[in-house]
Every structure is written in C-alpha cells, then in structure tokens.
C-alpha cells in the first residue's frame, strides 16, 4: 500500500518516467532550423564507412522535435532515433524552435523552401559522402513539409520521402469536412481574420486541442493510473505522452491561415497543386519514392486521407502505403510502432539500397 502511494505521488508530481535523450551533437544553429545529429562518433564513422544513407527527420509544426526521441532506452520502445541508429543509419533532426507572435509571418513556404532544404544541405555536408543523398522522414504535418520540399525542389539529393500519419486530403477527414461545409459560404474569411488578429494559434490552444481529440484517454486517466500502479511500463508510457503534449508550441500566423484556407477550405493538397505565398507546388510532379503509413484508428488523420497518396503522387517512381492500426502518435512511437511501423520503414529503405 505504501509503495502504491509513493508511485501515485511520483506520477502526480511528474517524476515517474525517466528523462532520457539519445546522445547527440548540434551541427548548425540557424534560426528556426537548428540541426541535431544523433549517435556516437563510433556510430557516425561506421555509418559513413558502410555507405549508409542518412535520415533527416522533419517534425510537424506545433510539435517539439523531440517527438522522434521520446524516452530512449525505456520500454516500450519510444524513440525512432534509437531504432534508426540500431539499423546502422545516422538520423538528423531539424528543430523549428518555439513559435510566438514574432513568427506570425512564417508560412509553409518558409519551411519547404528555406528551413528544410538548408538543413538537408547541412546534414549532407556533415555526413561528408560525395554525391550522397538522404531520406526525409516526417510524422503528420512533418510529412506534408517533406513532400512539399521534395516536390518543389526535385533537384535536391532526396532519395525518398517517408510519411507517418500524414493527411493528403482534408476532404477525406470527417472533422475537417464538417468545418469546410460550415466555412464554405464565407470562404473562411471570419476565422481567417481571427487568426490574423491572434498572430497564429497559441501553444495552450494547440495543447488543449490535441488532448480534446483524445478525450476518452483524458477521462479514463485517473482510473488508468490507479489500475496500473504496479505496471511500471504503462505509467511511464502515459507520463511520456503527457510531457510531450504539454510541450507543444503554437502555429505561426501565416501557417495557420494557410492550413485553414489552402488545406481545409480549398483542399488544395487533395487536388495536388498548392498555392502557398508566391510559390506553386505540384505534388503530382514529385518523382522520389514515397512510403506512407496510415491507420483506421487515427483520430487526427483518417485512413483515407493518408492513403490518398496512392492516387495523388502519380509521378513518383514508387508509392508504398502501409496500414498500422493504432493511434496518431502510436503510428510513430510505442510498442505497435516498434512492431509494425519501424520494421516496414526499414524494409522499404533496405529495398531502396539494394536497387540503387
């Protein structure tokens, strides 16, 4: 009984799950583009010697870059970075940093035509293999930015694009379809005016929205804690997710407007041609191989929205779609991801290496 009370106190005080991070080094520290390389020097040298293709991890907007390295060394498996290192690859992650009112003018074009291409160049420069290329891997909107980058810059040395829980048609997501119906008569102008006034979507609202999408989990949490006081792994997993949700930054102002108008109201991404700032991106012209993962149980991105890649990316040399039945975050990290998502990604990457 005393041990249970101690465990409960540590959980309630956010002191139960270990705070771990994979060994890393900062390669460059550009504004909204800090680049971090993971792994030891020995792992780095071995990967270069073996001719491994590095991976640039692109985080979603309004999500901390550490989504790819949640509680490494702690079961159940929570670190994509740790897995990639185990396959002999070197993962890099571009960190877009915090977002406040000062970032209100940032749009998607700043990411796919600025931050990500520069990070890719820095990563390949650091890896130092002449004529080398890298795979882009993005979860949720990180996958969107990766696809936009590869489509807009078809000359960049991008070997493939890997997306996890990435929406490629907002018209195929029931929640956004309803929003689109409501906003259609005004073309979204009233809400767009509010977003302009706010300078974006503040971090507290993003955090609340993410929790609201998993409202059943939030309601069941007190009972879940009490039922699992003797299950260390279950409590660690819960607290890792809670910390992750509590650290979400906001959306930049221009990005939030583009998400509303270009993605939701007009569903330009579903049609394949996006008009973002003074750039036009045609996803149908993307030629790099693409691997995508979706789930029928994803409360954020419907299975149909993720699978739309098969119909959309008509110029890609290869489009593989893989179904993993779990939550939005569960597609990326956790026991199901370790058993289903990660091995499928590794198989895809190995096949690209063999056919190169």
Separation of alpha carbons 268 and 108, rounded Å: 13
Structure tokens at 207: 């955090």
CB 33 within 8 A of CB 94: yes
For a pLDDT cut of 90, what percent of the chain falls above it?
Answer: 53
The residue segments making up the domain with residue 107 are 19-219+241-355
Cα–Cα dist 143/163, whole Å: 5
Domain assignment present for 89: yes
206 against 325, higher pLDDT = 325
- Which stretch of DSSP H or E encloses residue 68? none
Q: Which of 5, 12, 3, 65 lies closest to 36 in space, CA to CA?
A: 65
Q: What is the pLDDT of residue 230?
A: 75
Residue 157 has pLDDT above 70, yes or no: yes
Distance CA 285, CA 315 (A): 5
Q: What pLDDT digit, counting tens, does each position of 172-186 carry?
A: 998 877 666 766 656
Statement: residue 210 has pLDDT above 70: no
Is the pLDDT at 119 greater than 60? The verdict is yes
Q: State pTM to two decimals.
A: 0.85
pLDDT of residue 70: 83
Would residue 61 count as lying in a domain? yes
pLDDT in tens, 282-315: 999 999 999 999 999 998 899 999 999 999 999 9
Residue 11 has pLDDT above 70, yes or no: no
Measuring CA to CA, which residue among 58, 97, 111, 62 is closest to residue 279?
111
Residue 231 lies in a domain: no
pLDDT at residue 289, rounded to an integer: 97
Closest C-alpha among 161, 84, 133 to residue 346: 84
Of 89-98, 303-312, 340-349, the one with minimum mean pLDDT is 89-98
The residue ranking higher by pLDDT, 307 or 74, is 307
Q: How far is CA 70 from each of CA 136, 265, 317, rounded to the nearest angstrom?
A: 19, 34, 33
- In tens, the pLDDT along 221-270 reads 677 676 667 776 666 676 667 766 666 666 666 788 888 889 988 899 99
Pairwise CA distance, residues 177 & 62, whole Å: 22
Residue 235, domain member (yes or no): no
Instruction: Report the alpha-carbon distance of residue 7 to residue 239 in Å, rounded.
Output: 12
- What CATH number should be reported for the domain holding residue 146? 3.40.50.1820
**Does 25 map to a domain?**
yes
Quote the pLDDT of residue 234: 67
By percentage, how much of the chain surpasses pLDDT 70? 72
Tell me the pLDDT band of 6, cut-offs 50, 70 and 90: low
- Give the position of tokens 């990326």: 332
Tell me what the pLDDT averaged over the chain comes to.
84
Element housing 337 (H / E) = none
Please tell me the distance from the alpha carbon of residue 137 to that of residue 58, in angstroms, as a whole number.
6
Closest CA to 161 of 8, 50, 58, 242: 58
**DSSP state, residue 112:** I
Residue among 311, 319, 250, 249 at smallest CA distance from 288: 319
Is residue 342 included in any domain, yes or no?
yes
Unique residue bearing structure tokens 């259609």: 184
Query: Does 273 have pLDDT greater than 70?
Result: yes
What gap in Å lies between CA 47 and CA 88, rounded to an integer? 6
Strand locations in 54-167 (E): 55-58, 91-95, 134-139, 158-164
Cα angle 353, 354, 356; round to 5? 65
Residues 6+ apart with CB under 8 A from 293: 163, 164, 165, 306, 321, 322, 323, 324, 331, 341, 344, 345
**Which residues lie below 8 Å from residue 330, measured CB to CB, with a gap of 6+?**
295, 297, 324, 336, 337
DSSP 278: T
Q: What is the pLDDT of residue 348?
A: 97
Domain for residue 3, yes or no? no
**Residue whose token pair is 């970032």:** 103
Encoded tokens for 137? 């891997």
Q: How many CA atoms lie within 13 A of 260 on its CB side?
A: 23
**Quick one: pLDDT band at residue 27, thresholds 50, 70, 90?**
very high
Confidence of residue 189 (pLDDT cuts 50, 70, 90): low
Mean pLDDT along residues 149-165: 97
39 part of a folded domain: yes
Number of domains in the chain: 1
């Amino acid at each position: 009984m005393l041990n249970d009370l101690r465990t409960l106190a540590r959980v309630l005080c956010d002191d139960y799950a270990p705070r771990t991070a994979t060994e890393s080094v900062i390669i460059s520290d550009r504004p909204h583009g800090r680049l971090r390389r993971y792994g030891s020097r020995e792992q780095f040298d071995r990967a270069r010697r073996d001719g491994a293709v590095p991976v640039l991890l692109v985080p979603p907007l309004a999500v901390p870059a550490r989504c790819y390295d949640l509680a490494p060394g702690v079961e159940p498996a929570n670190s994509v970075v740790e897995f990639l290192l185990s396959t002999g690859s070197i993962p890099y992650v571009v960190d877009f940093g915090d977002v406040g009112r000062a970032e209100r003018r940032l749009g998607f074009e700043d990411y796919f035509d600025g931050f990500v291409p520069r990070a890719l160049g820095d990563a390949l420069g650091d890896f130092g293999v002449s004529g080398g290329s890298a795979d882009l891997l993005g979860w949720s909107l990180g996958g969107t930015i990766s696809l936009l980058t590869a489509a807009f810059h078809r000359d960049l040395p991008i070997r493939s694009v890997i997306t996890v829980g990435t929406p490629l048609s907002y018209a195929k997501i029931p929640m956004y379809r309803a929003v689109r119906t409501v906003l259609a008569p005004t073309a979204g102008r009233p809400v767009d005016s509010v977003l302009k006034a706010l300078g974006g979507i503040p971090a507290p609202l993003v955090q609340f929205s993410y929790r609201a999408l998993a409202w059943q989990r939030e309601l069941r949490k007190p009972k879940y804690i009490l039922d699992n006081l003797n299950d260390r792994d279950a409590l660690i997993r819960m607290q890792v997710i809670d910390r992750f949700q509590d650290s979400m930054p906001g959306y930049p102002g221009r990005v939030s407007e583009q998400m509303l108008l270009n993605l939701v109201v007009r569903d330009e991404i579903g049609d394949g041609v996006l008009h973002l700032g003074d750039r036009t991106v045609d996803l149908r012209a993307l030629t790099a191989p693409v691997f995508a993962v979706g789930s029928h149980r994803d409360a954020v991105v419907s299975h149909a929205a993720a699978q739309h890649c098969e119909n959309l990316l008509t110029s890609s040399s290869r489009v593989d779609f893989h179904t993993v039945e779990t939550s939005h975050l569960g597609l990326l990290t956790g026991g199901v991801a370790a058993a289903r998502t990660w091995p499928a990604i590794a198989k895809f990457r190995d096949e690209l290496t063999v056919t190169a």
